[in-house]
Structure 1
Amino acid sequence: MKHLVTYFFVFGLNVIAAQESVHAEECIFQKLDGRDADFCRGGLEVLYPELGDVGCTYIPKCNQHRKQISKEWSSPDVRYQKADRNKLYVLIMVDPDAPSRANPKYRYWRHWLVTNIRGADLKTGKVRGRVLADYIRPTPPSHSGYHRYQFQIYEQPEHEAIALSTEEETSSGSWNMDNFVDRFQLGAPVASTHFLTKHYGD
């Protein structure tokens, strides 16, 4: 009887270990490659609950992570540890693949825009500043494939009072981001990253 109990105990442990192994295998975060990987520069981190830094990865379907990003979690922490404490920064988050990467007629879909972010806050991941566009969760349409959700950090010129035009405020889609960047002399981003995800039901 003692041997039988030991057998079932060991068998149960093996089953649990096997289940955990399968679970871990399903939750592999695949890194981006090629041109998508080239977009990730400067050490910018995007941190969501449970996931940690999702920069330069595909969001896996396991554990409802795609659904959590689309329907549950609020704005992520965005950390740029190389930020200068004495400077201000601008954060832009866009989807260049609206409504799909094959037909991005509504690019760039503006998901978040914050100015006057202190370098000291950016070093810790806390995005505090003047919010010009509230955070919009990534919500790729069903059957539209993977979308890139891009985050870019710019040094903010001291002399510029940055604002969206009345026309820009009327819609988040088809935003001329390049025009915005040029208008306020933001230059090239000091850091950028993105993650790819698709509709959680696909």
Structure 2
Amino acid sequence: MAVPVPFLVLCAWFLGLYRMEATPDALSPKDASFCHGGLEVVYPDLEVDECLVIPKDLREKMSTVWTVPNIHFPGAKKNKMYVLVMVDRDAPSRAKPTAAYWRHWLVVDVQGNALKEGKIRGTTLTNYQRPTPPRTSGFHRYQFMLFEQHPDAPVSLTKQEKSSSAKWDLWAFITRFDLGEPVATVQFLTQNYKA
């Protein structure tokens, strides 16, 4: 009995997709589902507008050359303010994230009109730190989250939070300032460029 061609094509596509997800340079369905809302993180040679794995040829630039990315959020409301968070949730490794969440960047009072133009204007509470996962630690998830900020609630870090970027209690921070769910999120996975 002959097998219909569309069925063979579908099987080949499914098997190809399965193999793609099983490779180290592809996202798991759970990692891919993190991104929503249309947030864009723009580096010189790379625009992160969906969940992705950083290509091997760009990992060194990301860790050693590129500085603060531009942030674009087309859905920003012009008269609103936002909080932008960047964390490594896998510090020092995904297998043992004992230093997670590692705070890589925190900007508050971000102006909505600037976000619509692809810029970030606000008050930096944690300066941008490039993604530099340890050499033998595998892939790390670097997550960007954008929250709408309440206009009458100034956002700040505690003295303890200012003393270290490691082991940041992100959920306590979100609760403390009643930030709620992020309006947009995006993440990329990368590993040490010498790995």
Q: Give distance in 1, aligned partners of 2:107 and 2:181.
A: 17
- Aligned pair partner of 2:99 in 106, 109, 124: 106
Partner of 1:59: 54
Distance in 2, matches of 1:148 and 1:54, equals: 15
SS at match of 1:78: strand
> Deviation of residue 52 (structure 1)?
2.5
Residue in structure 2 matched with residue 39 of structure 1 by the alignment:
34
Q: Distance in 2 between matches of 1:142 and 1:53?
A: 23
Cα displacement (A) at 1:54: 5.6
Aligned: 1:69 with 2:62? yes
Q: Structure 1: which 5+ residue stretches go unaligned?
A: 1-29
Are 2:39 and 2:49, in contact at CA under 8 Å, matched by a contact in 1?
no
Q: In the aligned structure 2, how far is the partner of 1:49 from the partner of 1:111? A: 19
| 1:53 shift after superposition | 2.8
Q: Distance in 2 between matches of 1:150 and 1:124?
A: 21
Q: CA RMSD in A?
A: 1.2
* Cα separation, 2, equivalents of 1:147 and 1:53: 15
Deviations 1:70-118 (CA, angstroms, capped at 9, x unpaired)? 1111011111100000100000000000000010011000000000111
Q: State the one-letter code of the partner of 1:49.
A: P
SS of equivalent to 2:160 = helix
How far apart are the structure 1 equivalents of 2:97 and 2:26?
23
Give the equivalent residue in structure 2 for 1:9. none
Is 1:132–2:133 an aligned residue pair? Answer: no
TM-score normalised to the size of structure 2? 0.85
2:167 is matched with: 174
Other-structure match for 2:137:
144
* TM-score for the superposition, normalised by structure 1: 0.82
Query: Which consecutive unaligned segments of at least 5 residues does structure 2 have?
Result: 1-24
| Other-structure match for 1:50 | 45
Instruction: Tell me if the contact between 1:48 and 1:54 (Cα under 8 Å) persists in the aligned partners.
Output: no
Aligned counterparts of 1:53 and 1:151: Cα–Cα separation in 2: 10
1:179 is paired with a residue whose SS is: helix
C-alpha separation in 1, matches of 2:38 and 2:139:
23
Moved beyond 4 Å, runs of 4+: none
Cα distance between partner residues in 2 of 1:121 and 1:190: 16
Per the alignment, residue 117 of structure 1 pairs with 110
More helix by share: 1
* Offset of residue 123 of structure 1: 1.1
| Secondary structure of the corresponding residue to residue 151 of structure 1 | strand
Question: What percent identity do the matched residue pairs reach?
Answer: 49
1:161 Cα deviation after fit: 1.0
Structure whose alpha-carbon radius of gyration is higher:
1
Q: How many residues of Structure 1 are paired with residues of Structure 2 in the alignment? A: 171
Query: CA offset at residue 31 of structure 1?
Result: 6.2
Residue 161 of structure 1 pairs with residue 154 of structure 2: yes
Q: Determine the C-alpha separation between the residues in 2 that align with 1:32 and 1:81.
A: 25
